[in-house]
Amino acid sequence: MKIKTWTSGIALAVALIDAAPAFAQTAEQEDEATSAIIVTGTRRADRSALESTAPVDVLSASDLATQSSGDMNTILRGLIPSFNVGRFVGINSDGSGFVRPPTLRGLPPDQILVLVNGKRRHRSALVQLNGGALASGAQGPDISQIPVIAVERIEVLRDGASAQYGSDAIAGVINYTLRSARSGGDVRTRYGQYYEGDGQNYQAAMNVGLPLGPDGFMDVAGEFLDAGYTSRGGQRIGALATKLTYPDMDIDDPVQKIGDPKVRSYRLFFNSGLAVSDKAEVYLFGNYGLTRQEFQFNWRQPVDAVGPNRTDTGTANYGRSSVFNDIYLDQLPDGTWDANGATYNFLSLYPNGFTPQFKGKVTDTSLTGGYKGEFNNGITYDVSASYGQSRVDYTMSNSLNSSLGPDSPTDFYMGSLEQRETNFNADLAYPWEIGLASPITIAVGAEHRTESYEIVLGDLPSYEAGLYSVQYLSDGRVATQAPGVSGFPGYSPNFVVNNSRRSYAGYLDIEGDLFEGFTLGFAGRYEHFSDFGSTTNGKVSARYAFSPLIAIRGTASTGFRAPTPGQLYTTAGITFFQGNSPADSITLPASNPASIAFGAEPLRPEKSTNLSAGFVLTPGGGFNLTVDYYNIAVRDRMGLASYINITTDDQRTILREAGLANWATVSYMRYFANGFKTRTQGVDITASHRGYTGIGLFNTTLAVNYNVTRVVSRSSNVVDTLRENQMEEGLPPWRVTLTENWSLGKWSITGRGYFYDGWVNWNTEANGGKLDIGSEFVADLEVAYKINDNFTLAVGGENIFDNHPDEDNRAPGQPNANWYEATQATVSGSRYIDSSPFGYNGGFWYVRLNAKF
């Protein structure tokens, strides 16, 4: 636990400083959220966030611009307490290091619906295989592809909305509204690095508004990012032992970087609209993004070595990686290999061992066009079509395919993943005036969606089971070498798929004020999937204002999420470490013959019941308070089953007959499954105050989230106790964010304090078991000076007190502890867990220059 008394004092002082001027505000001063009209969670055209029947956060362009980070995931983590995102890179990771998996209210990324300008955003091609227990097996959108400078505002609906928007909206909805300027523009540049001196970050972004016809617009935004590695691990104990045993060997320290990946990205968004009459317009928006990232896999130890034991009180033996076992080159007439003949060893290629360099290229494109307007009778309409595509290409360098022996290359293309979606929508809404306190808004609509998922073949050496994969030796021994790229075998013909599905949907949404102060809404949606049949979901919502000062609100809804094509067909292999031992694993779809033999059943849609209730307090003087309780039950919850340990000949026969190239060397397998039911409960509290005093304008926001998930029931052969513990205790139950923005004249200061309650990280017994992590306080600070009407200079820091989560030192003094005193790190060299809600890189400073024209 690293909360220091002086940092707590600073947080208290900030709160007290703001409290004093709060009493001096005039009643006319109001928070911007009071009057901001929302478009998410309602189809009425006159609702503000505070007047809605469900909690909606509205994040303005100014809110986004004053954030210290330029990454969309990190920004939302700072502004929405129930939103969390980790950094999964390196040790046992795969593509999760390239597409970070967020959670909202403790629910996975594919239970969060993402919209852009109110239209459904396509999913990422990546299915999360190693993105933490909560996101395991999920396939959600990649929101990092949306540059901050392209966004006018973000609306976050913290409520179930499947009855309104369809599949995926179980945890809530995030709607990005793009900028729509006809003129002007701005440029934002930023440079920064971590206190440790690494992770250099160069970011440049530009937005320009252009006229399109007499009253149309074309708004174009672009962003460039170049970020370097960070390294927060220690030396691997095997590498230290190798250096001590063989001092002349050239062993890097550390042999692998554990931290943020190396990143270079280019992102472009555009938004346009053109009026074709007084009551109609055509619109077109879309994006193109290209991101290249690189991080390091586990180092392969070249030789047996002796080094410090776990407690550094003696010595221990550390064995070489199996890729450095001898390969026998001479085959005898009877088909066996001469155990006394010539051999080959990869020491000749990598005399100091090797660290595979895992690279991903993420390409993201979308295009949406439509026609919207209003008929003379008051009916509004919106007809649109959209296409979205995400592609992830995998390559590996500085590696090998050991089954190819001396013919192995060192660079590989492992194949790619591709998600494609096409949507057609038609929406109608009419404000029916029948003499009630407000018109009754009646909205109807229809949607047709096609999704396809493709796994693209890798090059032959990336997956090939070479001549030396299984060698029966003349002396009766059997020598094996794992097929495919060491660390991440490529996609073979057995795993290549290109499948699609279609869905059709229709909805009805009714909302209005029955009498003064009382709002009632109903929504229903029918949806049919070509591969899962039909589902019908409903929602009822209500709000009652006792007075202009206080109102209560609540919703009850059902929801669903159909398995994605990616979850139906994904196959992947990866090498991870259990204690000091590397292990090859394979993840298979539920329909694979091997999965079925081990107990897999066809996947079913997830179903949910969502209840919420709360109140809104608006006493005036620029002060607002909302408190909302939520209760979300998810049945037939989907994810990855727990690993099955492959130890018997019968198990290997199943894998071989299923066509798995690495049947002889794989140690663990798992598959996709519906295996458990969860209930998530919590409370969201938001308070804001905005007011001017003689010493400046103060804008204060306090956001609190309490969230707990419990596994109500589970299938023990799908979800084991470890996974249950990870889901229940893997996030801090309490999170608090306090933001204070002060401005006077040309100066402004923004400070943020984050409190994270303690939580528990669970791991296997071989990796140390349970780790209790203490609570943390993290602070950001930025000082900005407006040079003139066009230029603003800002200097700031994230995590200015350089806090880190507790070290991954489990069960000190116990035989299964996975911490080595000599390296002050785990066996793999890591020091911190990757699911920390505030990361593990420590303090970061930056300077930013913004220009408007």
Beta-ladder partners of 525: 507, 537
Q: How far apart are CA 781 and CA 814, in angstroms?
A: 41
**Main-chain phi, psi angles of 243, to 5 degrees:** -65, -40
578 or 837: which leads in pLDDT: 837
Segments making up each domain of the chain, as ranges: 5-852
- pLDDT for position 828: 87
C-alpha dihedral (721, 727, 730, 733), degrees to nearest 10: -120
CA–CA distances in Å: residue 585 to residues 353, 354, 665, 726, 851? 22, 20, 9, 20, 51
What average pLDDT does this structure show over 720-741? 91
429 or 726: which leads in pLDDT: 429
When pLDDT is cut at 50, 70 and 90, the band that residue 90 belongs to is low
Q: Is the peptide bond before 254 cis (omega within 30 degrees of 0)?
A: yes
Least confident residue range of 16-20, 82-86, 673-677, 840-844: 16-20
- pLDDT for position 626: 96
**Main-chain phi, psi angles of 322, to 5 degrees:** -65, -20
425 or 658: which leads in pLDDT: 425
Q: How far apart are CA 419 and CA 389, in angstroms?
A: 6
Q: How far apart are CA 621 and CA 135, in angstroms?
A: 42
Other beta carbons less than 10 A from residue 715's beta carbon: 15
Has residue 31 got a pLDDT over 80? no
Strands 819-820 and 825-826: antiparallel
Has residue 105 got a pLDDT over 60? yes
Residue 451 C-alpha from the chain's centroid: 21
pLDDT in tens, 130-156: 767 788 889 999 999 999 999 999 999
- pLDDT for position 12: 36
- pLDDT for position 716: 80
Beta-ladder partners of 53: none
Has residue 625 got a pLDDT over 80? yes
- pLDDT for position 26: 35
Which run of H or of E encompasses 616?
strand 606-620
Count helices and strands (H / E) in the chain. 10, 42
- pLDDT for position 813: 55
Least confident residue range of 123-137, 232-246, 265-279, 293-307: 123-137
Has residue 525 got a pLDDT over 60? yes
Q: How far apart are CA 778 and CA 757, in angstroms?
A: 12
Has residue 15 got a pLDDT over 50? no
- pLDDT for position 578: 61
When pLDDT is cut at 50, 70 and 90, the band that residue 814 belongs to is low
Has residue 108 got a pLDDT over 70? yes
Encoding tokens for residue 582? 């590397």
Superfamily holding 5-852: TonB-dependent receptor, beta-barrel domain (2.40.170.20)
When pLDDT is cut at 50, 70 and 90, the band that residue 3 belongs to is very low
Has residue 219 got a pLDDT over 50? yes
Strands 668-693 and 581-588: parallel
What pTM does this model have?
0.91
| Cα dihedral 566, 567, 572, 575 sign | positive
When pLDDT is cut at 50, 70 and 90, the band that residue 579 belongs to is low
| Cα dihedral 84, 89, 92, 95 sign | positive
Decide: helix, strand or coil at residue 206: strand
Q: How far apart are CA 763 and CA 147, in angstroms?
A: 35
- pLDDT for position 126: 93
- pLDDT for position 35: 62
Has residue 29 got a pLDDT over 60? no
When pLDDT is cut at 50, 70 and 90, the band that residue 14 belongs to is very low
CA–CA distances in Å: residue 763 to residues 350, 733, 767, 811, 837? 32, 19, 6, 11, 17
Instruction: Kindly report the average pLDDT of the chain as a whole number.
Output: 90
Has residue 240 got a pLDDT over 90? yes
Q: How far apart are CA 205 and CA 189, in angstroms?
A: 6
What average pLDDT does this structure show over 634-652? 91
Has residue 85 got a pLDDT over 60? yes
Percent of the chain clearing pLDDT 90 (strictly above):
74
**Main-chain phi, psi angles of 596, to 5 degrees:** -60, -40
When pLDDT is cut at 50, 70 and 90, the band that residue 509 belongs to is very high
What average pLDDT does this structure show over 545-566? 95
Which run of H or of E encompasses 415?
strand 412-432
Q: How far apart are CA 739 and CA 630, in angstroms?
A: 24
What average pLDDT does this structure show over 787-810? 94
User: Are the beta carbons of 585 and 573 closer than 8 angstroms?
Assistant: yes
**Main-chain phi, psi angles of 374, to 5 degrees:** -140, 130
Maximum CA extent, the chain: 97
pLDDT in tens, 153-201: 999 999 999 999 998 999 999 999 999 999 999 999 999 999 999 999 9
- pLDDT for position 93: 63
- pLDDT for position 581: 64
Other beta carbons less than 10 A from residue 778's beta carbon: 25
Has residue 810 got a pLDDT over 90? no
Which run of H or of E encompasses 653?
helix 649-657
CA–CA distances in Å: residue 62 to residues 465, 554, 741, 750? 56, 30, 11, 12
Has residue 837 got a pLDDT over 50? yes
Which of 453, 472, 360, 346 lies closest to 409 in space, CA to CA?
A: 346
CA–CA distances in Å: residue 281 to residues 118, 270, 325? 16, 17, 69
What average pLDDT does this structure show over 750-754? 95
- pLDDT for position 643: 87
Write the DSSP symbol of residue 125. S
Has residue 37 got a pLDDT over 50? yes
Which run of H or of E encompasses 725?
helix 721-729
- pLDDT for position 1: 42
Has residue 4 got a pLDDT over 50? no
C-alpha dihedral (287, 290, 296, 302), degrees to nearest 10: 140
Which run of H or of E encompasses 9?
helix 5-22
